[in-house]
Amino acid sequence: MNWSNKTILLTGGTGSFGKAFTKFVLKKLKPKAIRIFSRDELKQFEMRSEFNNNPTLRFLLGDVRDKARLYRAIDGADIVVHAAALKQVPAAEYNPSEFILTNIIGTQNVADVSIDLNVDKVMMISTDKAVNPVNLYGATKLCAEKLVVQSNSYRGANKKTKLSVSRYGNVVGSRGSVIPLILQQKKTGEISLTDERMTRFWITLEQAIDFVTRSMEDMQGGEIFVPKIPSMKIIDLVNALGPECKVKIIGTRPGEKIHEVLLNEEEVRSALDVGDRYVVLPKHISWEGLDWKKGKNLSEDFIYSSDKNDWWLTIKELLKIVKGQENDEEEKAGN
């Protein structure tokens, strides 16, 4: 895939993923243009400054809820990366209608407009919380995944648009994630933990972006791509980052899982192991062009959950990742 002649539209472009994706793509793939689409003018101003007014970047204010604005923003784009979403689990429980409007209706708008404008590829960024969801946020992302996959049915004979999903676990150090929270609580001498049994999948931003871009190159339309990534016990994470701190068990929050799942028992039946990733193929295919020749089937008793994973992140590896991110933050502050 030749990225140098591509114009990319990135929804949610000023978020943690968006900024890291932009940095990665500018450095390694060198596209024709990246359109940063988001609704926060201050974050766009800050990002423009952070990237030194790079002429490859275009900053477009707008909301994925606004279909008319999406038509203007996406027109002429070759690729759409849909990362815009409301994500905080407690906020979703208190503001369900807002999450539905952004995460479900907004995703449908992105898919519809991309098909209408004959965009080459659309990749939605999803989460492990969409699998067997127990909270509203996860339920909205599950609906969004279904919308994107089945939108391939509506592209018609004369449309070339391919739409797929990238689903992965917790991003180490991303805004609102557990690691910045632990580092903040560490200053008080006490770190709160919901449950000592809790495990999570982990992926760095750089790994997530590499995974997404490679999946975009391989996508045929309708797949859900899932990376092979390590797990870690949250109690080990707490002890590694704050060994001198007291740990306070506060109990699980509403809508919180003890363990996360990236592939459930139903998806396993239609998933392929393609080496460094799993590819979930849709069960109901009414479009042409989806024909994976490589990969092997998974055993029916396989479940890809954070507690049953065969790859675990060591404390040494975690501390190295956290240290690298702290150095990045210091470098940004110095600039």
Residue 129 is a catalytic residue: yes
What's the helix, strand, coil split of the chain in %, to 5?
40, 20, 40
**Catalytic position from the list 6, 87, 129, 141:** 129
Task: Quote the CA–CA distance of 236 and 314 in Å, as a whole number.
Answer: 9
d(CA 150, CA 144): 10
Which letter does DSSP use for residue 56 in this model?
A: T
C-alpha to C-alpha distance for 102 and 249, rounded to whole angstroms: 33
Cα separation, 169 vs 200, whole angstroms: 8
DSSP 166: E
Tokens of 255: 């809508």
Q: Where are the alpha helices (DSSP H) in 131-175?
A: 136-150
Token pair for 86:
């409301």
CA distance 155 to 229: 33
Q: Is there a contact between 219 and 282 (Cβ–Cβ < 8 Å)?
A: no
CA dist list (Å): 30 to 25, 170, 310: 6, 27, 36
Please tell me the distance from the alpha carbon of residue 213 to that of residue 29, in angstroms, as a whole number. Answer: 9
Give the residue numbers marked as catalytic. Answer: 129
